[in-house]
């Protein structure tokens, strides 16, 4: 697995950023992020989880780690904007500063993105800009690529669009099916996402400090 960029974020000083996680399913990436934060040294700590599917296993993972979790079921809302407004309300109640989508199977609207401008991250199982959207692994196999992987990026209104923070390359092996490639990409995601979150937060602080010094 090749991670890009190769450099690690600089050591963090000061209080960690309060990170909220959005998830819809089993929460393996949620667990990787939370465990990295608990290990110490990360520029973030997990303020809480918002999930949209009743019975999603990610809620169990949060409970096991003592992390607050709130269900906001999209089925109870009339549209995406109304749902996102409820998600924003839940995140603000947790005093969240940054947001990481970890298997969040919802398309975000400006209601969410404007509330956390340039502070919403997503993980996608391809080397963007290739293979956006659903079934990215299957798209890669159908295209016959020899290298796939995953990407962490800042979220924009278009699906799987936005500035890339970091990527991990995963080889496609002879005889791979979607399940086999998915498993190897998942392993890369668990290594990449906590590091990419730390990198994004560190880059944002460095940019803000640079702007302040220029004034």
Q: Which of 124, 153, 186, 190 is catalytic?
A: 124
What are 214's two structure tokens? 């220029």
Q: Does the annotation mark 124 as catalytic?
A: yes
Q: Mind telling me the catalytic residues?
A: 124
């Amino acid at each position: 697995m090749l991670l890009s960029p190769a450099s690690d974020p600089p050591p963090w000083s000061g209080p960690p950023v309060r990170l909220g996680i959005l998830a819809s399913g089993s929460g393996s990436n949620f667990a990787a992020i939370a465990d990295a934060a608990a290990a110490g040294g990360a520029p973030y700590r997990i303020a809480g989880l918002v999930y949209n599917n009743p019975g999603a296993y990610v809620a169990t993972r949060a409970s096991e780690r003592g992390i607050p979790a709130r269900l906001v079921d999209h089925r109870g809302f009339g549209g995406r904007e109304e749902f996102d407004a409820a998600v924003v309300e839940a995140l603000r109640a947790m005093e969240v500063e940054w947001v990481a989508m970890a298997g969040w199977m919802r398309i975000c609207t400006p209601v969410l993105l404007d509330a956390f401008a340039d502070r919403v991250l997503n993980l996608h199982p391809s080397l963007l800009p290739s293979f956006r959207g659903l079934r990215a692994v299957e798209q890669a196999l159908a295209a016959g690529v020899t290298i796939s992987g995953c990407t962490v990026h800042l979220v924009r209104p278009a699906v799987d669009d936005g500035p890339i923070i970091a990527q991990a390359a995963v080889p496609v092996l002879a005889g791979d099916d979607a399940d086999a490639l998915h498993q190897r990409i998942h392993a890369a995601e668990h290594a990449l996402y906590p590091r990419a979150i730390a990198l994004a937060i560190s880059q944002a602080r460095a940019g803000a400090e640079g702007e302040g010094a220029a004034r």
